[in-house]
Amino acid sequence: MIHRPRRLRRTDAIRSLVRETRLAPENFVLPLFVCPGTGVRREISSMPGVFNLSIDETTKEVAAAYDAGVRGIILFGLPETKDPVASGAYAEDGIVQRAIRAVRQSTPQMIIMADTCLCEYTSHGHCGVVREGEVINDESLELLAQTALSQAAAGADIVAPSAMMDGQVGAIREVLDREGFENTAILAYAVKYASGFYGPFREAAQSAPEFGDRRAYQMDPPNVREAMREADLDYSEGADMLMVKPATVYLDVLSMVRERFDIPIAAYHVSGEYALIKAAAQKGWIDEERVMMETLTSIKRAGADIILTYYAREAIKALTK
Ligand SMILES: [Zn+2]
């Protein structure tokens, strides 16, 4: 007798019956870039279909996304002005804080996440306080905690610290609890690599560092045992969910984090991963929908419960058609 796995691949219906991994609209979180002004809807050249949106346009975008089936967004901000201590990151009337309030009002059911970092708001473009060319960890923690607190106060359901400062999750949890935001959840960018795949995002968020790079705080791509240590630390500091970023070139890491932790795991399908598919599709070299779905499925199969992706709406459309 020969074994015949092909029996279960014969028809669409049978393949669907035995399918092991299924994407669902609830899996996706849509990142949005909020900028100053009104009526602004500026496409990011390296990320076709992704825009810098003023707050009024953001609320429209969020309402449309909700109608399309998106249940979660994550907000990034482009402030009017930047300074060395990232004042715009934790200002009560900061760009993201105002956007959170506006979205909370216009689409109250949407899950609102806020990226908690300083690099979009610092004049030097680094994720923390800089002194003599170095990012100072513990001083940065205070500013990150203030940022998270202001985002929670504005109405964010989830804050997502992404600076890769040691102790950031603990510092944020402590301030949130002390100030009465014990129900605000933390999605920790626990394993964030110093990756070349962030290139298009830097155009989108205008956050390229003025000098040097982020290798002194983001993780070195060849390391995986260190990733487990980073995830352990964030878990023990009180993270409710752990993220791996980028996604597709770190599926092995994602899968190891999945096996090791029982809390929800997220993966960020980053700007460069999105741009690669878009560019090849625009050249007619690949079938965009097919490659998009195959890519997102691989991220879920590797262990992600939650996928942050610029493809959120298109993926839901493909799932529900
Ligand atoms: Zn940052």
Q: How far apart are alpha carbons 177 and 294 in whole angstroms?
A: 40
pLDDT by position in tens, the chain (length 321)? 999 999 999 999 999 999 999 999 999 999 999 999 999 999 999 999 999 999 999 999 999 999 999 999 999 999 999 999 999 999 999 999 999 999 999 999 999 999 999 999 999 999 999 999 999 999 999 999 999 999 999 999 999 999 999 999 999 999 999 999 999 999 999 999 999 999 998 888 888 888 888 999 999 999 999 999 999 999 999 999 999 999 999 999 999 999 999 999 999 999 999 999 999 999 999 999 999 999 999 999 999 999 999 999 999 999 998
The full set of domain ranges for the chain reads: 20-320
**Residue 251 token pair:** 């599926």
The amino acid at 294: E
What's the gap in Å between 208 CA and the centre of ligand 1? 9
pLDDT at site 202:
84
The amino acid at 313: R
What's the gap in Å between 268 CA and the centre of ligand 1? 14
Q: How far apart are alpha carbons 217 and 227 in whole angstroms?
A: 13
Q: Is 192 a catalytic residue?
A: yes
The dihedral built from the CA positions of residue 188, 23, 308 and 296, taken in this order, carries a sign that is positive
Longest Cα separation, the chain? 73
Half-sphere exposure of 204 (CA within 13 A, CB side): 27
What's the gap in Å between 190 CA and the centre of ligand 1? 13
What's the gap in Å between 126 CA and the centre of ligand 1? 6
pLDDT at site 98:
98
Architecture of domain 20-320: Alpha-Beta Barrel (3.20)
DSSP helix/strand/coil, 305: coil
The one catalytic residue in 245, 300, 317, 321 is 245
Do the bridges between strand 265-269 and strand 306-309 make them parallel or antiparallel, or are there none, so unpaired?
A: parallel
The one catalytic residue in 192, 278, 283, 317 is 192
pLDDT at site 210:
85
The amino acid at 158: I
DSSP helix/strand/coil, 147: helix
pLDDT at site 303:
98
**Residue 45 token pair:** 């050249």
pLDDT at site 211:
86
- What sections of the chain are H helices per DSSP? 12-17, 55-67, 87-90, 95-106, 137-154, 168-178, 199-205, 225-236, 251-260, 271-282, 288-301, 312-320
DSSP helix/strand/coil, 221: coil
pLDDT at site 139:
96
Residue 73 and residue 29 in contact, taking contact as beta carbons nearer than 8 Å:
yes
pLDDT at site 201:
87
Q: How far apart are alpha carbons 44 and 293 in whole angstroms?
A: 23
What's the gap in Å between 114 CA and the centre of ligand 1? 13
DSSP helix/strand/coil, 182: coil
pLDDT at site 209:
87
Model confidence, pTM: 0.96
Q: How far apart are alpha carbons 72 and 212 in whole angstroms?
A: 34
Q: Is 245 a catalytic residue?
A: yes
**Residue 318 token pair:** 């493909």
Write out the H or E segment, with its range, that includes residue 206.
Answer: none
Q: Tokens 């959840």 identify what position? A: 185
Residue 243 and residue 270 in contact, taking contact as beta carbons nearer than 8 Å:
no
Beta-bridge mates of residue 211: none
Do the bridges between strand 47-53 and strand 129-131 make them parallel or antiparallel, or are there none, so unpaired?
A: unpaired
Q: How far apart are alpha carbons 167 and 273 in whole angstroms?
A: 29
Write out the H or E segment, with its range, that includes residue 99.
Answer: helix 95-106
